[in-house]
Every structure is written in C-alpha cells, then in structure tokens.
Amino acid sequence: MYKKALVVIDVQNDFVSGALGTKEAQEMIPRLVEKLEQTGDDVIFTMDTHKDNYLETHEGKNLPVAHCIKGTEGWDLVDAVKEYASRAKVIEKKAFGSTRLPSLLKPYDEIEFCGLCTDICVISNALLIKAFYPETLVSVDSKCCAGSTPEAHDAALMIMKNCQCRIY
C-alpha cells in the first residue's frame, strides 16, 4: 500500500503577517487550506521555535529579526490551519531543518513539502529528507510555498529540482 505524507513547514504568524511576513505568504494560505481540506495523506506540521535569547544565537546574529519566540502570537500557527494541525502531528524545530523528521518519515513512499519559507526551511527539510531517503519521492507543491522573496522562492525551487525533488 502506497503511503504519502504531507509536511507543512512553519505556517506561523511571524512568517505570514508578523515580523518576517510577506504578501506572497498571505496569498498562499487559501491554497494551502484547500490542499489540507482535500488531502487524505498523513500530515505533519513543523513549527519554527526560538527562545527569548534568539538574537544572541548564531541564527539570530545572521538574521537579526526576533521571530517565532515560543509562547508569542508570532509563534502560533496561522488561524486558517489550526483546525488541520489539531488532527496532525505537530513538531517544534529549533533550526531550519528538523532532526526529528527523518525518523517520522521513514515508512513513506512519498513525502510532499509545502509551507514557509521556500528558500530557508522548506528547502532545508526537503533536502535533508532526500539525503536520508534517496529512493523516496520527495515532492514540493510550489503553489503552497512562499519564499522570503519571489526570487528566492524560484531559486530554491530550482535547487530542489536539481537535487531530484519533484516540483509542481
């Protein structure tokens, strides 16, 4: 029996309408909700999770915008996806790529990614899973992703395609 997982990366307020929000992320949310309404696949949500000392961390020194601080409104999933997350597995991650995803995704024949930001966390997790499971189909729904900029989004999609992820 063919098993597919849908991994929704970091669809949190700070990446949609908050500290690092973009118009493209806001416009993507209705398409993602439609996808979630129609999917019969197992779903995993990730949540970018930082502490109050974020700006003192390596990432914070290179991206000096406090975001997704655990317990804040910016850390919360956007309201439009909370209902779906309540029926899914939700994992917190403290870096771009999740060290927990490989063990959760081992039994799947296909692993599809969507979410935010295409050029940082989506690409990190898609390529991490492709490295762990090179014979597994890793796909990315480009219409249900948004990058930090439209150009960065397109560049990340091209890189993932070059690394044998299916982009559609």
- The answer to whether the Cα torsion of 142, 145, 148, 150 is positive or negative is positive
Residue 141 domain flag: yes
Q: pTM score, two decimals?
A: 0.97
Residue 97 domain flag: yes
| Total domains in the fold of the chain | 1
Residue 62 domain flag: no
Range of the domain at 134: 4-49+78-167
For 53-94, the pLDDT digits (tens) are: 999 999 999 999 999 999 999 999 999 999 999 999 999 999
For 32-43, the pLDDT digits (tens) are: 999 999 998 999
Residue 57 domain flag: no
Residue 67 domain flag: no
Q: What is the CATH number for 87?
A: 3.40.50.850
Residues 6+ apart with CB under 8 A from 29: 11, 16, 78, 80, 81
- How many other CB atoms sit within 10 Å of the CB of residue 133? 16
Residue 151 domain flag: yes
